[in-house]
Amino acid sequence: MREAYIVTSVRTPGCRRSKGAFANTRPEDLLVTALNGLMERSKGVPKDAVEDIMVGCAFPEAEQGLNIGRIAAQMAKFPDATCGATVNRFCASGLEAIALQAMRIKAGWCDVAIGAGLESMSIVPMGGNMPRPHPEWAMENPDVYISMGMTAENVAKRYNITREMQDEFGFNSQMKAAAAQEKGLYTEIVPTPAVSYVYKDGKYEKVIKMQDFDDGVRKDTTLEGLKKLKPAFASTGSVTAGNSSQTTDGAAATLLMSEEAVKKYGLKPIAKVVGYTVAGCRADEMGVGPAYAIPKLLKMFGLKPTDIGLYEINEAFASQAIYSAQQIGLADKKYWAADSDSRIINVNGGAIALGHPLGCTGAKLCAQLMTMMQKKGAKYGVESMCIGGGMGAAALFELCE
């Protein structure tokens, strides 16, 4: 089987749903910016070399429907020969897209492909425009349709993840992200046009400005302030807005190649896509998915948790991220605390600070992981997330020499 190499990986900023810079920016435009930014950074690779663009999207409808993978390819001026598709594995959609393209390359079915992710949570609401659960099935097993927030409460209660633990984790996510912004560490970000409308002289005018940072990071967060927040999903619960992921808008894209293509274009790849897996769990505690997926992935390749130099474990909620770290053998907070030189989990903050644009997140975390694997010289990196409906996904990457 051939190797699949990541050559370039980029993302737009993640901006707050409804209140952030991208609230009025169409999702197609976010994705086009990511795709064009990807190709601009992949110097020497023409657009006509790309055979296929696979886009992950959790709610592929309305403005981000109609096979956004093909539409965005055309909007970004890829040739007609460049195909496109859309894939949905909810929160792992972006990673699924990258994994599918890697598998196609490994199988010898293509040489150059893009895996991407997209979600505009401002324009296409959480749950979609017209969700219709199956009535009889909902009576038999309502957990398939349960609120993600309630699954986080279930995890906290069942596995003794206290409010204090969750708030501390959320605080550290914000501090890591604030420090990374100050140091300019998010070099994978592509400056992105942000649309707004200003009422002037009896009509609305379209205004465009460039957005080059994640606008949900709260550097002034304090533990005292987090403690004052009320539970968001249950009156006596412990999950709050401060220890949950932000809902955001964004897009990300990764260029993958075979060894033959890498040599043809004279490129130095970042990393190899070593493997990918998914694992199922109870729907009413879907957040524990990484606790199943990461051990399964590591076992596939004979690795221990401490063999991995960097982890990106999506912070859908602090409760599930903490429990997942505990279960894979990385319970000590030195592995994720902002003031720890030994931290390897979400080293520059996670979705609590940076946001979780659903179908984009898997591709977004890949871009962040590629950046930091290079900066730190980490041989192995793992990306993982929980998935609505009761699943986890995990991917293993190996840094190229």
Which one is catalytic: 57, 110, 281, 356?
Answer: 356
Series of mean pLDDT values for 10-residue runs along the chain (401 residues): 97 98 98 98 97 98 97 98 98 98 98 98 92 90 90 98 98 98 98 94 93 98 98 96 98 99 98 98 97 98 98 98 98 97 98 98 98 98 97 98 83
163 lies in some domain = yes
Active site residue 281: no
Rounded distance between C-alpha atoms, residue 343 and residue 349, angstroms: 11
| Ordered DSSP codes for 231-292 | PSS-TT----GGGBPPPEEEEEEEEEE-HHHHHHTT---SEEEEEEEEEE--GGGGGGHHHH
Rounded distance between C-alpha atoms, residue 364 and residue 357, angstroms: 9
Do residue 254 and residue 311 come from a single domain? no
108 lies in some domain = yes
Q: How many domains does the chain have?
A: 2
Do residue 71 and residue 170 come from a single domain? no
Do residue 267 and residue 317 come from a single domain? no
Do residue 173 and residue 278 come from a single domain? yes
Do residue 76 and residue 153 come from a single domain? no
The enclosing domain of 172 has a CATH number of: 3.40.47.10
Rounded distance between C-alpha atoms, residue 298 and residue 206, angstroms: 50
Active site residue 110: no
238 lies in some domain = no
229 lies in some domain = no
Do residue 168 and residue 314 come from a single domain? yes
Which one is catalytic: 91, 110, 281, 366?
Answer: 91
Active site residue 386: yes
pLDDT given for residue 372 in this prediction: 98
Do residue 66 and residue 117 come from a single domain? yes
> Among 253, 271, 289, which residue terminates a domain?
271
172 lies in some domain = yes
Do residue 70 and residue 180 come from a single domain? no
pLDDT given for residue 219 in this prediction: 97
Domain range for 283 is: 135-185+274-395
Which one is catalytic: 15, 110, 360, 386?
Answer: 386
pLDDT given for residue 200 in this prediction: 85
Do residue 119 and residue 55 come from a single domain? yes
Do residue 353 and residue 211 come from a single domain? no
64 lies in some domain = yes
pTM above 0.85, yes or no: yes
357 lies in some domain = yes
pLDDT given for residue 130 in this prediction: 87
Residue matched to tokens 């130099």: 309
Do residue 74 and residue 206 come from a single domain? yes
Do residue 198 and residue 338 come from a single domain? no
